Homo-oligomer: A and B are copies of this chain.
Amino acid sequence: MPDAEKLLIAGIRRRTASKSPSIALGIGDDCAVLRIPHGHQTLVTTDFSLEGVHFRREWHPAEVVGHRCLTRGLSDIAGMGGNPVAAFLSLALPQNLPQSWVNQFLKGLLKLASRFHISLAGGDTAQSPVGILADIIVVGSVPKGKAIRRSGAHAGDRIYVTGALGGAAATLKLLFDGQKLRPADFPQHFYPMPRLEVGRFLREKGLASAMIDLSDGLSTDLGHICDESGVGAKIQASSIPRASTGKPARAVGLRFALNGGDDYELLFTARPGKRIPSKIAGVPITQIGEITRDKRMLLVDQSGRSSRLRPQGWEHFKAAKRSHA
C-alpha cells in the first residue's frame, strides 16, 4: 500500500474513532460489521463522484466535493424513507494530489455524516490513473416492508415535491458561463441537503404511495415513478416551486426547475384523501400535479394548455455542455 493511502486510511480512522452503536467493527478489517435493528431491512445505494463528470476541481472546493459526494448517497436513503446507518468510501487519488485537498474533502464529507449521526465505516483506496474518483456507498435501514418505492403510485394520487427546484442546475449554468461564485451564496448547488427527516416522516405516518429523490431532474425522475408504477402524470407549470439563487436572490427559469438535476429534494405521491402538511421538518411541501391513468406525462401551462413533458433531466456535465455551451 503506498504511503499516501496509508496516511489516508489512518486519517479516516482517526477522524471516525467515535463509536457508533450501529458499527460493530469499522475500518481496519476485511469487512465492516454493521448492526441493523431487529425487524428492519437493509438499504444499500452506491453513487460515483468522478472528477470532470460530477465535479471540477476549479469550480468545487474539496470540502464541497466531499459534502456533495455523501449527499448523493444519503438522498437515496431519504428517497426510500430510510434511516442511514453507515457510509463507505472507495477513493482513488492521482499521485500529485495535495494532502490538503484530501483533508478538506474528508472534512466536508464527515461534517455532513456527523449532521446525520453516521460514520464512515470502511471503503477502499487506490491510486487513480487520472483524476479523483470517489464512489460513496450508504447503508441504511427501514422497518420491514415499509420502504417507499417508486412503484406505488396510482391514478388520482397527488404529486408533491419538497423545497424548491432548479437551484443547483441554474448555478451550474453560471459556472459554465465562467462566473466565479461564492459557495455560501449558492447553497443549493454547493451544499445540497438530503431530505432524510422528510422521507422518514412520510414513511412513519404512512403518507406517501411512491417516492424518489430528485437527482436527475423533475422530468426524468417523475418519469421513473411513472414507468415503475405503470401510470402517467399531469403537472401544473405554475405550481412548481422554483429555487432562488445568488445574492441578491433571483428565481430560476422554469426549464431549470423541470430538468435540472442535483437538487436532492424529494418527489412523492399520496392518495387523494391524505392530508399532507405544508411543511415537514421545516421544509415546504408543494403539490404540483396528479397521477393519471393515461401513461403520458403532461405539462399544463398558465393558460391551461397541455404539452408532452419528456424526460430531459440534467445528465451532469455532459448534458449541461449540450444545453448551454
Contacts and interface: CB of A to CB of B under 8 A. Distances in A.
A44 to B, nearest CB: 5
A46 to B, nearest CB: 5
Nearest to A79: B30
Copies in the complex: 2
A51 B126 CA distance: 12
Interface stretch (A100-108, A135-143, A232-240, A270-278): A135-143
Interface in A74-132: 75-77, 79-80, 82, 86, 88-90, 92, 121-124, 126-131
B34 A44 contact: yes
Given A31-B79, A80-B31, A213-B30, A44 B129 contact: no
Nearest to A133: B133
A315 interface: yes
B130 A76 contact: no
A315 B42 contact: no
A184 interface: no
Interface in A196-221: 211-213, 216, 220
A2 B79 CA distance: 23
B47 A124 contact: yes
Interface in A30-63: 30-36, 38, 41-48, 50-54
A122 B36 contact: no
A208 to B, nearest CB: 13
A8 to B, nearest CB: 13
Contacts of A121: 44
B25 A124 contact: no
Given A41-B35, A42-B34, A137-B46, A53 B124 contact: no
Given A32-B44, A33-B43, A36-B36, 11 more contacts: A30-B212, A31-B79, A33-B41, A33-B147, A35-B42, A44-B86, A44-B121, A46-B123, A50-B92, A53-B126, A130-B130
Interface of A: 1-2, 24-25, 28-36, 38, 41-48, 50-54, 75-77, 79-80, 82, 86, 88-90, 92, 121-124, 126-131, 133, 135, 137, 139-140, 142, 145, 147, 149-151, 211-213, 216, 220, 228, 313, 315-316, 318
7 contacts: A29-B79, A29-B147, A34-B41, A34-B43, A44-B88, A51-B129, A135-B135
